[in-house]
Structure 1
Amino acid sequence: MKKVKIIRIPILPMHMVNAHLLLGPDGCVLVDAGIPGSERKIGRALAKEKLTFKDIKLIIITHAHVDHAGSAARLRELTGAPILAHEGDAKHYSREEEMTFCPTGRFARLFYKTGFILQPYEGFTPDLLVSGKQAIDLRSFGVPGTVTHTPGHTSGSISVELESKDAMVGDLLASGILLGGIMRKNHAIRPPFEDDPHQVAEELLRLISSGHRTFYLGHGGPLGVNEVRRHAEYLKGLPAV
């Protein structure tokens, strides 16, 4: 099996927001684009690998929140790479519809009031739309793996499942105090906003049953399979939304 090198890019300090570069045997794929203006940090991460924006073959956006999609339009200009996303969030990417947010607790309600998650970003139309439960093979972009629909955080959330059994899961879960910040970095938590925790649990358990062992997150992480399983079982026990 040809190994994919996974590079975490801290968009905000202490991995409070992450993007990921996947360096495959035959290509480079970017997973998530960070907040508006993140292209500078992504460019520096590429330079450390002796790569440029033009080496990116595909931009995958896991969901339509500003901290994941904020620089997508600009990065498409810089790289010439297509953007891949799910149809479930398509009208949010184009800015035709505003997102709704389901806070997961008191911190989330306070966080919402800061306005961070409501920042505007340049709208875009994805070049490649994942439809329903369609799986997209990434080998044509140089990376052995697939993109799959993993709803629950948002209706259009997607994950990257690598053949190495590593998974990039966006915001299906987070870790640590202050979203991966200063303490308990290996402890799984709910992200500030989550549409359907039971659906998240179902998707996490499916990924585990598929053999995935390491989970890379949009906030904090990575986490091992046992901690992800513990969190999924906790979500299953929550009251129905």
Structure 2
Amino acid sequence: MQITPYIHALKTPLGPDPGRFVYVYLIYGDGITVIDTGFNGTEKLITGYIRSTGRDPSEIRLIILTHAHPDHTGSAKALRDLTGCTIAAHPLDAPSIEHPDPMLLKPPAPGMQSLVGGGVPVGRPLEEGAVIDCGNGLVLDVLSTPGHTPGSISLFLKKEMALFTGDTVQAPGRAPIYTDPVALVRSLRRFAAIPGIRHYLPSHDEPAQGKETYQRFDESLAYIRRIHALIKEAAAAAPGTPDPLALAGRLSAELELSGVPGHHVAFIARSIEADLAAQGLDERLGE
């Protein structure tokens, strides 16, 4: 769907469950800039959509990966092989993009293809303060927004007052996945301090506009606060050293994450482990 004259959003599936999706964003400037690429195979949806709008996939000049997870990087190699475009990402996540976990290169289940089409070189490192000229007066400012992963980035297109957040905003009802909850809260508060955002463009949540954008940030902070409280309560009730994997099952039930795939429990356990190890999270959440 078209968000503005320059921004297009493509909702791509994550497996057979229609409730699981990831957004790929396209910026139409002099060429085309792609923000995230979905799982391996999504390149067919991306190129088909581009053609349906009267443009050509050969116009793809740059792919920006907000972080290294396979639902964002999976078809980057295929698109690069097709177009010769440059891949851009933060240096902290670049190693996992260039050399993905071998397990991601194997089909996760019978009848499914691998999650990632292969490693791809990051030709343009992106850190805080970097500026990307997409042409037609479209300039993306790169924001370092760690927490979900160490090298997570977000992008702000000032001409459209549009914020692309990747997975930094943890939407209520979805599995909480983060490596550093303190950094994550700091990143969310940074978003909330940006005035005049017109378009909120996340990966696993629906886009929003205007005031609703800031409500999403507040809801995400409240979600993290609730998760933290539940983890503290469960850890206090558990005898001995808390087992993050055992707590993950309890947390999933408390949050009613019935639609979350079973393998996400391991990711939730890592988030719990990060929460238990965090220093100063209570203070940061209380600000």
Counterpart of 1:227 in structure 2: which amino acid? R
Shift of the alpha carbon at 1:138? 1.8
Structure 2 equivalent of residue 135 of structure 1: 129
Aligned to 2:204: 219
Aligned to 2:44: 40
How many residues align structurally? 210
Q: Deviations over 1:88-130 (max 9, x none)?
A: 112211226689xxxxxxxxxxxxx98x9x9454012200012
The answer on 1:166 being equivalent to 2:162 is: yes
Please say which of residues 136-145 and 48-57 is displaced more in the overlay: 136-145
Distance change >3 Å, CA 71–CA 141, structure 1 → 2: farther
Look up the match of 1:152.
147
Question: Aligned ranges for residues 109-128 of structure 1 at < 5 Å?
Answer: 119-128=115-124
How does 1:186-197 map onto structure 2 within 5 Å?
188-189=172-173, 191-197=175-181
Q: How many percent of aligned residue pairs carry the same amino acid?
A: 29
- In 2, the alpha carbon distance for the partners of 1:34 and 1:97 equals 16
Structure 1 residues 22 and 64, CA, compared in 2 at 3 Å: closer, same or farther? same
Give deviations 1:172-214, integer Å, cap 9, x for gaps. Answer: 1254xxxxxxxxxxxx455442112231221121122122343
Secondary structure of the 2:125 match is strand
Q: Which runs of 5+ in 1 are unaligned?
A: 100-112, 176-187
Shift of 1:5: 2.5
The TM-score normalised by the length of structure 1 is: 0.76
Q: When you count helix as a share of all residues, which structure comes out higher?
A: 2
Stretch deviating more after TM superposition (9-18 or 42-51): 9-18
Please state whether the residue corresponding to 2:224 is helix, strand or coil: helix
Does residue 1:64 correspond to 2:68, yes or no? yes
Structure 2: state its 5+ residue gaps.
233-274, 279-287
SS of the equivalent of 2:9 reads strand
In 1, distance between residues paired with 2:6 and 2:118?
Answer: 30
Q: Which residue in 2 is equivalent to 1:110? A: none
Counterpart in the other structure of 1:183:
none
Q: Deviations over 1:139-160 (max 9, x none)?
A: 2555322122111100111111
The corresponding residue for 2:265 is none
> Residue 191 of structure 2 contacts residue 217 of structure 2 at CA under 8 Å; is this kept in 1?
no
Equivalent position SS for 1:83 = strand
Q: Structure 1 residues 157, 191: CA separation in 2 closer, same or farther (over 3 Å shift)?
A: farther
In 2, distance between residues paired with 1:48 and 1:96? 32
Matched, 1:232 2:226: no
Bigger Cα Rg: 2
2:11 paired with 1:10: yes
Contact kept in structure 1, 2:100 and 2:118, CA below 8 Å: no
Which residue of structure 1 aligns with residue 243 of structure 2?
none
